[in-house]
Chain A
């Protein structure tokens, strides 16, 4: 009996080892890329942020403690000023763009889910722009909103408006507007697909029950649709927020020579100074800026997760899982008691 038990244990251990090896093998392509291109650069960037570091000339490299971080809060420094200004650009754009990129796809998904005539074509049309790169978006919108009379919009309107040449923080919002339109056109499709999936998954019985209780359309949306889409909304909000905190492509591709340096996001700031040879002696400072920016993104993402209640839900799941395990163990010992899930019962086999 004991031998049999030992053999079984050994087999279980062997099978577990094999399973671990297999999962590691399946994970390894991602792990290698993650370690090489994310983990190592992050750790090195963190280390460099405490140094006066020059990637091209090691002779001058030295540990300088927190000096780079203190410089980031020296607001008399014009480079520091432009770093914090870049946060302003990003936040202004995010405050407008993120809600638009949540509401518009949701409304579109809601209507497409009613299956109007030709809805499959509309679905494809809405999703199609998501597959193009930001460079293509720049070419399309750059030509549409070209400031000359030959630009598509100008030729339709018979005007010569300089859509992309304005100074957005100096009374001109046209470039903001074009960037916003381009972003909505480009990225609505991604969230639209997720919302469509979530809408399809809502059981019809819930709508019927609500209607039987005298619910009108607005009640259906408020008490059935939105609560059942909460996970999808949370995922979309998280992805969109992270994406727009890393704002880069739109201001880079949608500008004119006049204002290429006017709308600078933190990513553009970091990219400019990290790749410019003239700034090589302050690479440590730029790394510190990148770390601060990274922390800011993490902070906002955490707030978003908290607000959307992911943490509470996951805690609930943990409680449910613990109960399930306890009940499973209880069942193993021969009891016929059914597992007690939070919020419902479980049909035993």
Chain B
């Protein structure tokens, strides 16, 4: 009996403590956080200290910045090289310590670190799509105050307009994030096969089908090698097809989606049809489920095009050389592998979005845990250096990412860089025609629903089946958005 009473008291005390420790108030009701155009009446960040200035420039002394980056693929080596360059150039003034966090856990891990003040990073480098959640949970702060006090100006007019438009994260007048680069699926092509069939790359969907048809018949191969099982295919390429056909992803006012209505339905069904055109064609121009075999086909010169990731460039070139008589890297680049983009590949009818490409972009943001103005200013200094230095832009481009800064893309050093010239500018023909998911906290569910549509419709045979799959995904997603 005594034990029972003791357990009951312990449970009641623990629950009381749990309730007490978790704030209080009335039921705030459902619904997401700030909407476009919202203003901030109670800033959740603070600034302490005074900035040491030498004339108009701040003076930095041993400022240590911890940076949490989402980069952890083949491009991490290039990123670390850039950081090492910065640490050398700013020795004794500013130093950056990098911590790479897995993409799947980035949001929850870094946000927990910041909210629980458990080794929070000072600076975060993540995909644009994740930043809306960070600002909704009040875990990042704007650059504006630090820029104003330090005189280090990071003007959004120096960045590609299609990336800079996301920087305010819905709070007009604030710079909560700074664009770094862009990334999407890109096309590697076999120069030898292309030369045999005219040497001209297709400029629209019709030309693509025509060229591939000729190559398929002439070479007895499936000319487009792509791995539709890779998450990047529905996430980047299928969404590119939707955008190129005039699709609109979600309503910015409440994040709900309206895919089964009017022009949007046409855009989605056309996107599906544009891919089906290639797969169901006779002879077959692309496979649904080539899996990892897609790359093998391209390396064995059994495909004209390979849809791959830009940051895998070096390994693709090396493997191609090794598999084709130990060719040197230069020989592969000059004679065998060329680069182009999926711009205009999927639009069934020409429209104002035909040339757009969908993908992700890395952005910088400052953690709300940073209070010292010297550290905030040092972060501005680093962000400006990283995003607006031509040599850094070129180095980062060699890791597979086109610079998001017009200062870099217009510089001679960047333009004259061989890799940028031969590949990056072909992978991403116009950075101002680039689209990201934008400011929705439901990006993961949106991508999951898009993937579901892609997976369900690929074996459909009628437009009615397509519409039904699109409507089902829309209803489920809107239900989740409305509830959360």
CB within 8 Å of B: which residues of A?
A: 40, 43-44, 46-48, 50-64, 67, 77-79, 146-150, 162, 165, 256-261, 275-282
A60 to chain B, nearest CB (A): 4
Are B289 and A279 neighbours in the complex by a CB distance under 8 Å? no
Q: List the A residue with the shortest CB-CB distance to B441.
A: A278
Interface residue B244 (Cβ < 8 Å from any Cβ of A): no
Given A56-B139, A257-B234: A67 touches B289 (CB 8 Å cut-off): no
Q: What are the 9 tightest A-B residue pairs by CB atom distance, in nearest-first order?
A: A78-B479, A47-B18, A258-B455, A61-B23, A56-B137, A58-B23, A278-B441, A277-B133, A43-B14
Interface residue B204 (Cβ < 8 Å from any Cβ of A): no
Cα(A327)–Cα(B464), bound, Å: 82
B34 to chain A, nearest CB (A): 12
Interface residue B349 (Cβ < 8 Å from any Cβ of A): no
Are A278 and B27 neighbours in the complex by a CB distance under 8 Å? no
Are A63 and B108 neighbours in the complex by a CB distance under 8 Å? no
**Which of A50, A165, A277, A279 has the most chain B CB atoms inside 10 A of its CB?**
A277
Are A276 and B483 neighbours in the complex by a CB distance under 8 Å? no
Cβ contacts B2-37/A at 8 Å (1 or 0 each) = 000000000100110011001111111010000000
* Residues of chain B contacted by A257 (CB below 8 angstroms): 228-231, 233-234, 451, 455
17 A-B interface contacts by CB (under 8 A): A43-B11, A46-B15, A47-B22, A51-B19, A52-B27, A54-B137, A61-B25, A62-B24, A63-B24, A78-B479, A78-B480, A148-B293, A165-B289, A257-B451, A258-B455, A277-B111, A282-B483
Are B19 and A63 neighbours in the complex by a CB distance under 8 Å? yes
Are A56 and B22 neighbours in the complex by a CB distance under 8 Å? no
Are B290 and A148 neighbours in the complex by a CB distance under 8 Å? yes
Cα(A77)–Cα(B452), bound, Å: 20
Q: Which of B28, B292, B293, B479 contacts A52 (CB 8 A)?
A: B28
* Residues of chain B contacted by A46 (CB below 8 angstroms): 15
Q: Which of B22, B25, B112, B289 contacts A147 (CB 8 A)?
A: B289
Q: List the B residue with the shortest CB-CB distance to A147.
A: B289
Interface residue B97 (Cβ < 8 Å from any Cβ of A): no
Are B15 and A47 neighbours in the complex by a CB distance under 8 Å? yes
Are B22 and A58 neighbours in the complex by a CB distance under 8 Å? yes
Q: List the A residue with the shortest CB-CB distance to B105.
A: A275
* Residues of chain B contacted by A62 (CB below 8 angstroms): 23-28
Interface residues of B in 82-137 (CB under 8 A from A): 105, 107-108, 111-112, 115, 133, 137
Are A148 and B289 neighbours in the complex by a CB distance under 8 Å? yes
Stretch at the interface among B256-264, B271-279, B442-450: B442-450
Are B115 and A277 neighbours in the complex by a CB distance under 8 Å? no
Interface size class of B (residues with CB under 8 A): 35 or more
Are A57 and B108 neighbours in the complex by a CB distance under 8 Å? no
Are B479 and A77 neighbours in the complex by a CB distance under 8 Å? yes
A34 to chain B, nearest CB (A): 14
15 more A-B contacts (CB under 8 A) besides A55-B112, A261-B451?
Answer: A47-B18, A48-B22, A55-B115, A63-B19, A79-B483, A148-B290, A148-B293, A258-B229, A275-B105, A275-B108, A276-B108, A277-B108, A278-B444, A279-B484, A281-B30
Interface residue B476 (Cβ < 8 Å from any Cβ of A): yes
Interface residue B138 (Cβ < 8 Å from any Cβ of A): yes
Interface residue B475 (Cβ < 8 Å from any Cβ of A): yes
A151 to chain B, nearest CB (A): 9
Cα(A318)–Cα(B331), bound, Å: 84
Q: List the B residue with the shortest CB-CB distance to A45.
A: B18
Interface residues of B in 428-459 (CB under 8 A from A): 441-445, 448, 451-452, 455
Are B133 and A79 neighbours in the complex by a CB distance under 8 Å? no
Are A259 and B455 neighbours in the complex by a CB distance under 8 Å? yes
Cα(A46)–Cα(B11), bound, Å: 10
Q: Which of B14, B22, B137, B234 contacts A61 (CB 8 A)?
A: B22
Given A77-B479, A148-B289, A150-B293: A276 touches B444 (CB 8 Å cut-off): yes
Interface residue B291 (Cβ < 8 Å from any Cβ of A): yes
**Which of A55, A147, A278 has the most chain B CB atoms inside 10 A of its CB?**
A278
* Residues of chain B contacted by A275 (CB below 8 angstroms): 105, 108
A28 to chain B, nearest CB (A): 18
Given A59-B23, A147-B289: A278 touches B133 (CB 8 Å cut-off): yes
Cα(A47)–Cα(B15), bound, Å: 5
Cα(A162)–Cα(B30), bound, Å: 42
Are A277 and B19 neighbours in the complex by a CB distance under 8 Å? no
* Residues of chain A contacted by B105 (CB below 8 angstroms): 275
Are A44 and B18 neighbours in the complex by a CB distance under 8 Å? yes
Q: Which of A48, A61, A261, A280 contacts B448 (CB 8 A)?
A: A261
A59 to chain B, nearest CB (A): 6
Cα(A50)–Cα(B22), bound, Å: 12
